[in-house]
C-alpha cells in the first residue's frame, strides 16, 4: 500500500524550517505528483517571458518527513516508477545555458510526448529517459533554492536519477525532509540549454533509513554500478571531490593501497558530467558493477 502526496504541497527552497507535507515510516512507498519546473505556467509557444512568474520556478513536492531519520543517518530513496505527462516544454534565451550569448530572444518549444517518444519535430522523435531533476533533503544550514544543487541533493539534473535507481542522501535534520520535482522526459548530460524536456509527472518511490553510516554527498546505485554526485561552483572541483569521495568509500572495503585503488579507478572508473548550467555545477564519478562485485562491495551495508 502506498501513500499519495498531491503536487499542491510544494516548496521553492529546501529548508529545515519547512513544515512536513507528509510523514511516513521507513520502508513505505509514496506516490508523489509533481508540477513541471515552471509550475505548469507555460501552456503554449506563445507564452511570453513576462507572462511567466519567475518566482514560481522549480516547485518541489514535499517535504516528506521520514520517521526515525536522524542527523548522521542516510536516507535511501528507491525510484520505483516514473509516469510522465503528455506535454513537454523546453526553453532557452539570452543569458541562459551555454549558448545564451548567441540568443536574442527567449524561446519556448512545446514537445509532445506520444507512444513512448518525445516528438522534437516532424523529422525527429527522441527516446524517453524520464528522470528527476530536483530531489533532496533539507540542507544542513541556510535554506537552498530548489534551483541549486549541493550536498543535500537539490537541482542535480542528473540523467541517472531514473526508474530503478537508488539514491542515498545525507540526513542533516530529523525526518530528512525529502522533496522532489523538475521531472524531465529526457535530458542529455550537461543540460546545455538550461532545460531538459520539462514535464509534470507522478513518481513512485520507497524510502528507508540507514543507520550506522554517514555520507557527505549523495550517492546513486543502479544495475550498472555506483556513482557519487558532487556539486560545486567549478566543475573541476566537483570532479576532484567526487573522485576522492569514491576512493575513500571503496578503500576500506578492499585490500588495495591508495595508489593501487587510484590506478584501478583510472582504468575502470568514469568521470561524468551531470549538468553545467545551474548555480553550482554537478559532476559524478562512476564505478562499474563488475569492480564492486570483484571485492564483494555491499553498498551501505546492504
- Least CB distance from residue 131 to Zn ion, whole Å? 9
Q: Is 37 near Zn ion (CB under 5 A)?
A: yes
- 35 and 122 in contact (C-beta within 8 Å)? no
Contacting residue, 15, 33, 36, 157, with Ca ion by CB under 5 A: 157
C-beta closer to Ca ion: residue 154 or 269: 154
Coil/strand/helix, residue 116: coil
Phi, psi torsion values for 23, nearest 5 degrees: -120, 130
Distance of alpha carbon 99 from alpha carbon 189, whole angstroms: 15
Contacting residue, 182, 198, 200, 208, with Ca ion by CB under 5 A: 182
Distance of alpha carbon 265 from alpha carbon 275, whole angstroms: 22
Q: Is 133 near Zn ion (CB under 5 A)?
A: yes
C-beta closer to Ca ion: residue 153 or 269: 153
Number of other residues whose CB lies within 10 A of the CB of residue 286: 20
**Apex CA 53: angle with CA 48 and CA 54, to 5°?**
100
C-beta closer to Ca ion: residue 40 or 265: 40
C-beta closer to Zn ion: residue 16 or 159: 159
Residue appearing with cell numbers 560545486: 232
- Least CB distance from residue 196 to Ca ion, whole Å? 7
Q: Is 155 near Ca ion (CB under 5 A)?
A: yes
Contacting residue, 182, 200, 208, 278, with Zn ion by CB under 5 A: 182
Helical (H) or strand (E) element with 150: strand 149-150
Residues in binding contact with Zn ion, number by CB under 5 A: 5
Coil/strand/helix, residue 230: strand
- Least CB distance from residue 134 to Zn ion, whole Å? 7
Q: Which residues bind Zn ion (CB under 5 A)?
A: 37, 133, 182, 196, 198
Amino acid at each position: 500500500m502506498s501513500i499519495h502526496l498531491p503536487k499542491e504541497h510544494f516548496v521553492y527552497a529546501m529548508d529545515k524550517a519547512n513544515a512536513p507535507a507528509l510523514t511516513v515510516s521507513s520502508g513505505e512507498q509514496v506516490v508523489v505528483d509533481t508540477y513541471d519546473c515552471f509550475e505548469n505556467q507555460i501552456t503554449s509557444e506563445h507564452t511570453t517571458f513576462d507572462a511567466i512568474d519567475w518566482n514560481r520556478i522549480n516547485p518541489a513536492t514535499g517535504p516528506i518527513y521520514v520517521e526515525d531519520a536522524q542527523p548522521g543517518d542516510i536516507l535511501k530513496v528507491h525510484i520505483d516508477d516514473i509516469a510522465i505527462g503528455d506535454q513537454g516544454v523546453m526553453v532557452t534565451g539570452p543569458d541562459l545555458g551555454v549558448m545564451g550569448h548567441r540568443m536574442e530572444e527567449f524561446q519556448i518549444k512545446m514537445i509532445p510526448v506520444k507512444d513512448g517518444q518525445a516528438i522534437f519535430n516532424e523529422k525527429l522523435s527522441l527516446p524517453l529517459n524520464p528522470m528527476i531533476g530536483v530531489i533532496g533533503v533539507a540542507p544542513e544550514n541556510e535554506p537552498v533554492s530548489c534551483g541549486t544543487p549541493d550536498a543535500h541533493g537539490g537541482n542535480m539534473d542528473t540523467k541517472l536519477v531514473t526508474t530503478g535507481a537508488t539514491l542515498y542522501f545525507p540526513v542533516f535534520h530529523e525526518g530528512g525532509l525529502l522533496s522532489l520535482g523538475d521531472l524531465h522526459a529526457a535530458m542529455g548530460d550537461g543540460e546545455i540549454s538550461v532545460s531538459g524536456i520539462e514535464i509534470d509527472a507522478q513518481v513512485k518511490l520507497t524510502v528507508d533509513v540507514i543507520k550506522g553510516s554517514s555520507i557527505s554527498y549523495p550517492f546513486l546505485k543502479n544495475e550498472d554500478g555506483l556513482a557519487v554526485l558532487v556539486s560545486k561552483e567549478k566543475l573541476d572541483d566537483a570532479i576532484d571531490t567526487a573522485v576522492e569521495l569514491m576512493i575513500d568509500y571503496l578503500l576500506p572495503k578492499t585490500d588495495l593501497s591508495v595508489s593501487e585503488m587510484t590506478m584501478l579507478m583510472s582504468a575502470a572508473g568514469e568521470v561524468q558530467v551531470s549538468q553545467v548550467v545551474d548555480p553550482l555545477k554537478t559532476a559524478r564519478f562512476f564505478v562499474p558493477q563488475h569492480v564492486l562485485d570483484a571485492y564483494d562491495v555491499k553498498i551501505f551495508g546492504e
